[in-house]
Amino acid sequence: MLKLIQNEWMKLWHKKGTWAMVAMLICVIVVPGAIMKYHDGKSTDEGSWQEVEQQAIQANKEMLASEELMEEDKVYFEEQTAISEYRLANDVPSQRETSLVSFMSFASNLLTLVTLFTVIVAASIVSSEFSTGTIKMLLTRPISRMKVLTSKLLTTFLFGLFLVTVNIVVSAFVGLLLFGIGTGVELEIVNGQIVEKAVWEDLAYYYVLSGGDFVMSTLFAFLVGSVFRSSSLAIGLTMFLSFTGGMIVMFLSRYDIVKYIWLTHSDLTQYVQGDFMVEGITMPFSLTILTIYAILFLVISYTTFIKRDVTA
C-alpha cells in the first residue's frame, strides 16, 4: 500500500497543475497580508484605546435607545457595552490592529480554496487514468483493484492535509512577520461572566469543524470521478452543490427530508456561529448523517470501480 501511495504521490507532483495550486494558495495568503499591513500603517490615529471604548459605549447606548431594536440585537449591544465598561474599569485594552491570531483567523476562511483544490485532485485522480488509457496498465499488476482505489483515495486526502498544513504554516509565518503577537485581549461573556476569549482554541476548533465540508466534498468528487470517469463533471457538480447547497437546503426547509440531506450538515462551523441551516439539528445528528453518506459514497465508488470492465 505504501508503494502504491508513493507512486500516486509522485504522479500527482509530476503535474504542473499541482505546483500551481500550492503557489496560488500561498499567494492568496501573502498578498492580502501585505495589503492589510499597508492599510494598518496608513490608518489614522483614532486616539487611545480608552477613548475608543468610550465612543463604543456611547454608540451602543444610542442603539439600545431605539424602539425598533430586535431582542437578539438588544442582547448583543448590552453585552458589548458591558465588555467595554469592563475594559475601562480593569484597564484591559482591546486588540485594535491586526495580530497574528486575527490574521490566521482570516486565513482560515481560505480553507474553501483548499477544499476546491482537493476536489480537483479527487475528481481527476481516477478519471484521468481512464482518459489517458493508463488504467489498463495499472490494473494488469498483481494488485487488487480495492488496493489501487484505496491508494488513490488516501493520496487525495494526504494532498488535502498537505494544503491545510501549508495554509496554517504560511499564515502563521506571514502573521508573525507582519503583525506580531499583538497586545490586546479578546473578551466574551460566558454564563453572564466576562472572561478572556480562548482565541487559539476557537481557531483550532474552527479548523476541525471545517473538515466536514472538506471530507464530504472530496468523497463526492471522488465518487463522481470514479463512476462517470469525467473530472470536469465531478468538479462542476461538486462546486455547484457547494455554492448552491444553502439555497437547496432553504428551498427544502419546509420538508422534513431536508434533515437527512448531507448538504444540510456538511458545514459544521454552523455550530460555532450559531446560524443553523435547519432548526432542531444537533452535532451528533449531523455527524451521524455525514457518516452514513460517507459510507454510501465509498461503497458506490468501490463497487463501480471493482466491477467495471476495462477495455483497451
For 39, 148, 174, 250, 296, the CA distances from 180, given in Å and listed in that order, are 16, 46, 9, 42, 46
- As a whole-number percent, the residues of the chain with pLDDT over 70 amount to 93
Residue 27 has pLDDT above 90, yes or no: yes
What is residue 46's predicted lDDT score, i.e. its pLDDT? 57
pLDDT tens by residue, 116-175: 999 999 888 887 777 776 777 776 777 788 888 899 999 999 999 999 999 999 999 998
What is residue 312's predicted lDDT score, i.e. its pLDDT? 47
What is residue 2's predicted lDDT score, i.e. its pLDDT? 87
What is residue 293's predicted lDDT score, i.e. its pLDDT? 94
- As a whole-number percent, the residues of the chain with pLDDT over 90 amount to 25
Residue 111 has pLDDT above 80, yes or no: yes
Residue 44 has pLDDT above 60, yes or no: no
pLDDT tens by residue, 53-100: 888 888 888 888 877 777 777 887 888 888 888 888 888 887 766 788
DSSP letters, 79-107, are HHHHHHHHHHHHT-----S--HHHHHHHH
Residue 245 has pLDDT above 70, yes or no: yes
Task: Give ∠ CA 169-206-171 in degrees, rounded to 5.
Answer: 20
Query: Which tops the pLDDT comparison, 290 or 132?
Result: 290
- Mark out the alpha helices in the chain (DSSP H runs): 2-13, 16-42, 49-64, 71-90, 100-108, 111-132, 134-139, 145-178, 199-209, 211-228, 231-251, 262-265, 270-273, 283-307
Q: Round the average pLDDT of the chain to a whole number and report it.
A: 84
For range 258-266, the mean pLDDT:
87
